[in-house]
């Protein structure tokens, strides 16, 4: 279980110092965040710089492991010159969950979202975690994101391969005739499969079928 070359002694901290660059619109916010980070000793977190926007030429920005960004707005502006290319993580302080997709689009490494009023302990833990490439979310946000997705388990009855196929094409907006052409079958057969999968999903029309299908995870959206 340990062929690793890590023969380090106990005195050497295993946390190799996490450098954080603070991006916040006001000097006060920057100072507050930096002090919260610097007062954390054991965690090896260190604030290396700060700026009011992401499009800065501060050399400390390039050195940072984690970008701590206050506010969703600061993420939009700097979309082009976003430095979080491949080795930097981003921790965003924002309430809104709409920023999830923006974050994911930017930083392929670790990322996270935290409410702006998060206590210092959560902030430290989140910084360290995203620096390790993990994804961190507050419990409430995770509940909202996942809760609607797959709280329900399997569909009541499993769909046949043909039915799943038809359901997928329905979700892409195809009419019965187009589905028939696509699958090289008759339009009547398409209607038959649709009736079957409607019965299995317990729905009465295509819109609801797509909705339920997506919730059960058997549609690719």
By CB under 7 A, name the one of 198, 201, 210, 218 that touches DNA. Answer: 198
Which residues between 101 and 160 bind DNA (CB under 7 A)?
160
212: contact with DNA by CB under 7 A: no
39, 186, 202, 220: which one contacts DNA (CB under 7 A)? 186
Nearer to DNA (CB atom), residue 65 or residue 163: 163
Q: What is the 8-class DSSP label of residue 39?
A: T
The Cα 18–Cα 169 span in angstroms is: 48
Whether residue 65 contacts residue 18, with contact meaning beta carbons closer than 8 Å, is answered with: yes
Separation between Cα atoms, residue 69 and residue 56, nearest integer Å = 13
181 binds DNA (CB under 7 A): no
Q: Residues 25, 192, 214, 217: which binds DNA (CB under 7 A)?
A: 192
If one asks whether residue 206 binds DNA (CB under 7 A), the answer comes out as yes
**DSSP state letters, 24-53:** -SSHHHHHHHHHHHHT--TT-EEEEEEESS
Minimum CB–partner distance for residue 149 and DNA (Å) = 23
Determine, following the binding rule CB under 7 A, whether residue 191 of this chain makes contact with DNA. Answer: yes
Name the minimum Å distance from CB 203 to a copy of itself: 6
187-201 vs 206-215: helix axis angle to the nearest 10? 50
Cα dihedral 44→48→50→53 (10° resolution): -90
Question: Which parts of this chain interact with DNA (CB under 7 A)?
Answer: 160-163, 175-177, 180, 183, 185-186, 188-189, 191-196, 198, 204-206
């Amino acid at each position: 279980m340990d062929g690793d070359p890590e023969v380090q002694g106990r005195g050497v901290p295993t946390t190799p110092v996490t450098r954080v660059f603070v991006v916040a619109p006001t000097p006060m916010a920057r100072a507050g965040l930096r002090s919260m980070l610097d007062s954390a000793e054991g965690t090896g977190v260190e604030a290396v710089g700060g700026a009011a926007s992401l499009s800065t030429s501060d050399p400390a920005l390039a050195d940072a492991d984690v970008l701590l960004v206050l506010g969703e707005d600061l993420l939009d502006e700097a979309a082009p010159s976003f430095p979080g290319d491949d080795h930097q993580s981003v921790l965003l302080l924002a309430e809104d969950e709409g920023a999830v997709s923006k974050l994911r689009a930017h930083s392929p490494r670790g990322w996270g979202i935290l409410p702006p009023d998060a206590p210092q302990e959560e902030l430290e833990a989140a910084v360290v975690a995203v620096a390790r490439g993990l994804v961190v979310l507050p419990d409430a946000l995770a509940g909202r994101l996942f809760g609607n997705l797959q709280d329900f388990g399997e569909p009541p009855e499993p769909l046949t391969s043909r039915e799943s196929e038809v359901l997928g094409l329905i979700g892409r907006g195809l009419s019965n005739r187009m589905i028939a052409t696509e699958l090289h079958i008759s339009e009547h057969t398409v209607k038959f499969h649709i009736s079957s999968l409607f019965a299995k999903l317990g729905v009465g029309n295509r819109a609801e079928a797509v909705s339920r299908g997506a919730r059960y995870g058997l549609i690719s959206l």
